[in-house]
Amino acid sequence: MFEFELIKESKECKARLGKIKTTHGEIETPIFMPVGTRATVKTMTPEELKELEAQIILSNTYHLYLKPGMEIIEKAGGLHKFMNWDKPILTDSGGFQVFSLSNNRKISEEGVEFRSHIDGSKKFLSPEISVDIQNTLGSDIMMCFDECAPYPSSYEYILNSMNRTTRWARRCKDHHKNVDNQALFGIIQGGMYKDLREISAKDLVALDFPGYAVGGLSVGEPLELMNEILDFTTDFMPKNKPRYLMGVGSPDYLFEAVERGIDMADCVLPTRIARNGTVITSKGKLVIKNAKYKDDFTPIDDECDCYTCKNYSRAYIRHLFNVDEILALRLATIHNLHFLINLMKKIRESIKNDTFMEFKDDFYNKYGYNKIRREF
């Protein structure tokens, strides 16, 4: 089962309110999806994610394919049971990771041969294998095997890559077995070239996927360029299907994406920077492990009502980072995930009330507009 209901379109911009129904529950959009690369959102239990009102998490085909391997996930009865998470899961295709292994992979029409980053052993991923893996994982939303091309790339490179991604998308669709319970999304590529984005979008829309992602953005290009390409691309995406911008997770990028009609986004950013001692607050980012917080007994963010901010001071969290305690990573992760999940909740509320643009301006003014660009 997979349905998308478009509840409302903003009067101010292309922002939308929607609801996705999956076998494992409903998802209100726009949404930020925490990343659980290796069958766990780093430092968190499933119950804690639910307390934060995480509606869906993302997990990674490449990593799970290597460890623990599909034999174990299959015996466990799928990824949900294996990791004790009964809400929706989205899995990527593994494409992003294997294409990142630039010195250790060989691309052909058939797929990508690569060496495992763990033990150097030879492996192979193709559209069919990626779909098989995701069928075994049992994710509610699967992604087509694609190439997320680097930035900058030549027109010719992107043209070839994009067309192959489209051919691979067709193979993914043809190979996908569990269509009733797992929705396979197509991924629009085309780099920073509008004509290629248009072709990619139209070709994939013709294949009639239940949802579409915009890939190949937020890969190092300026925010203005991302905004321009995204704005252009979403106009070619069906209104009655969910739209997912891959790899975006800082507050400003989320605002810009939603404004341009995006319903879903994911990124390791909030959890990764948390473990490095950086927290997101309504007044900008804050490096909590810095010595200047050693006797600051206020919470990370005095406007925040997360578990961390309700119970712990900056001084205590700074101490925990200073002595390498695991609780530091947990408290910072809880705060950052809460910040983004709660931000998306407020964004949904503002779309409902047609106050999204005002909410965005207010947020930027407080957060610090100049500080906001590519700050992480």
Binding status of residue 297 toward its own copies by CB under 8 A: yes
Binding status of residue 326 toward its own copies by CB under 8 A: yes
* Cβ(308)–Cβ(219) below 8 Å: no
Question: In this structure, what token pair is assigned to residue 46?
Answer: 């499933």
Q: Tell me which residue of 16, 74, 67, 33 sits closest to 263, measured CA to CA.
A: 16
Q: Using CB under 8 A, which of the segments 23-31, 127-135, 142-150, 315-323 binds its own copies? A: 315-323
Phi, psi of 213 (to 5 degrees): -110, 155
Nearer to its own copies, 315 or 357 (CB): 315
Q: Tell me which residue of 328, 291, 332 sits closest to 309, measured CA to CA.
A: 332
Q: Which of 329, 343, 344, 351 binds its own copies (CB under 8 A)?
A: 329
Please tell me whether residue 186 adopts helix, strand or coil conformation: strand
Binding status of residue 204 toward its own copies by CB under 8 A: no
Q: Considering only residues 29 through 88, tell me which ones interact with its own copies, judged by CB under 8 A.
A: 38-40, 42-46, 63, 67-68, 71-72, 75-76, 82-84
Active site residue 92: yes
Binding status of residue 322 toward its own copies by CB under 8 A: yes
Collect all residues with Cβ–Cβ distance below 8 Å to 64 and sequence separation of at least 6. 38, 39, 70, 73, 79, 91, 133, 137
Q: Which of 315, 342, 345, 355 binds its own copies (CB under 8 A)?
A: 315
Helix/strand/coil (H/E/C) assignment for every residue in 220-252:
CCCHHHHHHHHHHHHCCCCCCCCEEECCCCCHH
Distance CA 195, CA 159 (A): 10
Q: Considering only residues 11 through 30, tell me which ones interact with its own copies, judged by CB under 8 A.
A: none
Q: Using CB under 8 A, which of the segments 1-9, 128-136, 279-287, 325-333 binds its own copies? A: 325-333
Tell me how far, at minimum, the Cβ of 80 lies from its own copies, in Å: 12
Q: Using CB under 8 A, which of the segments 97-105, 135-143, 196-204, 306-314 binds its own copies? A: 306-314
Of the residues 235, 266, 354, 362, only one is catalytic, namely 266
- Give the total residue count for the chain: 376
Stretch 277-296: interaction string toward its own copies, x if CB under 8 A: -----------------xx-
Q: Considering only residues 330 through 349, tell me which ones interact with its own copies, judged by CB under 8 A.
A: 330
Total of residues contacting its own copies (CB under 8 A): 35
Distance CA 198, CA 205 (A): 10
Tell me how far, at minimum, the Cβ of 325 lies from its own copies, in Å: 5
Q: Using CB under 8 A, which of the segments 4-12, 169-177, 313-321, 350-358 binds its own copies? A: 313-321
Nearer to its own copies, 311 or 353 (CB): 311
Q: Using CB under 8 A, which of the segments 8-16, 21-29, 147-155, 312-320 binds its own copies? A: 312-320
Tell me how far, at minimum, the Cβ of 67 lies from its own copies, in Å: 5
Active site residue 266: yes
Instruction: Give the Cα-Cα-Cα angle 357, 200, 144 (nearest 5 degrees).
Output: 90
Tell me how far, at minimum, the Cβ of 69 lies from its own copies, in Å: 9
Of the residues 86, 92, 252, 302, only one is catalytic, namely 92
Nearer to its own copies, 121 or 323 (CB): 323
Distance CA 369, CA 373 (A): 7
Q: Tell me which residue of 357, 275, 369, 325 sits closest to 12, measured CA to CA.
A: 357
Amino acid at 85: W
Tell me how far, at minimum, the Cβ of 97 lies from its own copies, in Å: 14
Helix ranges restricted to H, the chain: 46-51, 61-66, 70-76, 79-83, 95-100, 127-137, 155-175, 194-206, 223-234, 251-259, 269-275, 307-311, 314-322, 326-352, 356-367, 369-372
Phi, psi of 5 (to 5 degrees): -115, 120
In the complex, which residues of this chain contact its own copies (CB under 8 A)? 38-40, 42-46, 63, 67-68, 71-72, 75-76, 82-84, 294-295, 297, 311-313, 315-316, 319-320, 322-323, 325-327, 329-330
Residues with catalytic roles: 92, 266
